[in-house]
């Protein structure tokens, strides 16, 4: 599946490179890239939705404006959410093609005039970095200063406070976990458990729903981890399209290379914190290919603009 993850990543990144300069970050700015790929019955991959974005409006910016009353302000412009918006537009276009008598890559109509998904197709999600929120909270690995090679951790367990309980394979080559990767997403105020903001691994709790960080004031938008978990359970199509079409689930989720990644945290954030059973068919992977405009020591500022594209 590593080769498949690289195919998905390369397809999205290559399309981004071919797009014009408008909306792209400068040399000191970073952004996130997300996309959705259609795999047809013959195995052919086709990119159908793509977006970049890092911004989300705060509550004050969103509500206290005339534009909000007119429905002209977009709450959430993170790449994952915009890619899904582009995907919805693609689905509406595919429905229109079918109704106009043209062949659709996604839908067919049965004898009862109901829309069905074409046989053998599947959809695959890509994001250049781990989604904000619960999926981004996992231990940083630090090693004793010696010549021994890094060891694998056998198991990570968490207590109610979010503290890591760690087992190692070899007591003589002890691996020390001092800190965790942190997310700017804040726990929803109505959640039972809140971040203690203590040092090291006790900074966050895991499991609660979170809202995205905003431009200086809290947002009303749930984190990408929470939204993707919803799509994983209910489908990408949303409530309106669900009246017309079957549920569309993600078969794979690929995270870009050269960014912090934990399969355990991704599985927890997308389904295990709600239902510890395995999600049938969902495969989570990390590609080797990386997005060059992701955050690094040279790119310190989030790009204020976004790109949104669909086939």
DSSP-assigned beta bridge partners for residue 78: 54
Burial of 82-105, coded b for 16+ CB within 10 Å and e otherwise, reads bbbbbbbebbeebbeebeeeeebe
Task: Report CA Rg, the chain.
Answer: 21
What tokens were used for 255?
């995270």
Q: Which has the closest alpha carbon to 11: 46, 44, 40? A: 46
DSSP-H helix ranges across the chain: 2-18, 59-63, 66-69, 79-99, 224-234, 238-241, 263-267
Are 47 and 310 in contact by the 8 Å Cβ rule? The answer is no
Look at residue 288 in the predicted model and tell me its pLDDT.
Answer: 96
What count of other Cβ atoms lies within 10 Å of the Cβ of residue 134?
Answer: 28
Look at residue 275 in the predicted model and tell me its pLDDT.
Answer: 79
Phi, psi torsion values for 307, nearest 5 degrees = -120, 140
* 7 tagged catalytic: no
Question: What does the alpha-carbon distance between residue 45 and residue 266 come to, in Å, rounded to a whole number?
Answer: 24
Residues whose CB falls within 8 Å of the CB of residue 288, separated by 6 or more in sequence, listed in order: 2, 5, 6, 9, 257
Are 33 and 16 in contact by the 8 Å Cβ rule? The answer is yes
Look at residue 66 in the predicted model and tell me its pLDDT.
Answer: 72
The position carrying tokens 């690929």 is: 254
For residue 308, give the 3-state DSSP assignment: strand
For residue 254, give the 3-state DSSP assignment: strand
Are 62 and 68 in contact by the 8 Å Cβ rule? The answer is yes
Distance of alpha carbon 47 from the chain centroid = 17
Write the DSSP symbol of residue 311. -
Query: Following CA atoms 290, 294, 296, 302 in sequence, which dihedral angle do they give, to the nearest 10 degrees?
Result: 180
Q: What is the mean pLDDT, run by run of 10 residues, along the chain of 311 residues?
A: 92 97 96 98 96 91 70 87 98 96 94 93 98 96 44 42 46 64 94 93 95 82 96 94 95 97 96 76 93 95 96 95
Are 78 and 32 in contact by the 8 Å Cβ rule? The answer is yes
Look at residue 246 in the predicted model and tell me its pLDDT.
Answer: 95
Look at residue 67 in the predicted model and tell me its pLDDT.
Answer: 65
Look at residue 154 in the predicted model and tell me its pLDDT.
Answer: 36
- Out of 80, 163, 251, 267, the active site residue is 80
């Amino acid at each position: 599946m590593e080769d498949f993850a690289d195919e998905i990543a390369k397809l999205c990144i290559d399309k981004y490179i071919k797009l014009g300069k408008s909306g792209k970050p400068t040399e000191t700015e970073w952004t996130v890239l997300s996309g959705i790929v259609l795999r047809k019955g013959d195995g052919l991959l086709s990119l159908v939705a793509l977006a970049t974005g890092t911004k989300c409006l705060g509550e004050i910016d969103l509500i206290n404006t005339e534009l909000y009353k007119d429905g002209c302000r977009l709450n959430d412009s993170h790449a994952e959410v915009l890619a899904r918006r582009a995907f919805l537009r693609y689905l509406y276009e595919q429905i229109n093609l079918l109704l106009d008598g043209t062949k659709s890559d996604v839908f067919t109509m049965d004898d009862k005039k109901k829309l069905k998904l074409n046989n053998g197709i599947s959809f695959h999600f890509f994001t250049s970095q781990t989604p904000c929120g619960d999926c981004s909270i996992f231990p940083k690995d630090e090693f004793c200063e010696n010549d021994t090679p890094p060891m694998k951790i056998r198991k990570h367990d968490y207590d109610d406070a979010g503290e890591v309980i760690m087992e190692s394979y070899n007591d003589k080559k002890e691996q020390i976990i001092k800190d965790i990767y942190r997310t700017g997403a804040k726990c929803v105020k109505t959640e039972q458990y809140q971040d203690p903001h203590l040092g090291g691994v006790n900074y966050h709790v895991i499991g609660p729903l979170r809202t995205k960080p905003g431009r200086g004031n809290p947002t009303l938008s749930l984190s990408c981890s929470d939204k993707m978990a919803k799509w994983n359970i209910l489908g990408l199509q949303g409530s309106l399209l669900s009246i017309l079409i079957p549920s569309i689930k993600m078969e794979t989720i690929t995270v870009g290379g050269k960014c912090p990644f934990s399969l355990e945290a991704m599985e927890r954030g997308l389904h295990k914190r709600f239902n510890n059973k395995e999600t049938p068919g969902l495969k989570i992977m990390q590609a080797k290919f990386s997005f060059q405009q992701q955050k690094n020591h040279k790119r310190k500022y989030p790009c204020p603009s976004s790109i949104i594209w669909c086939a």
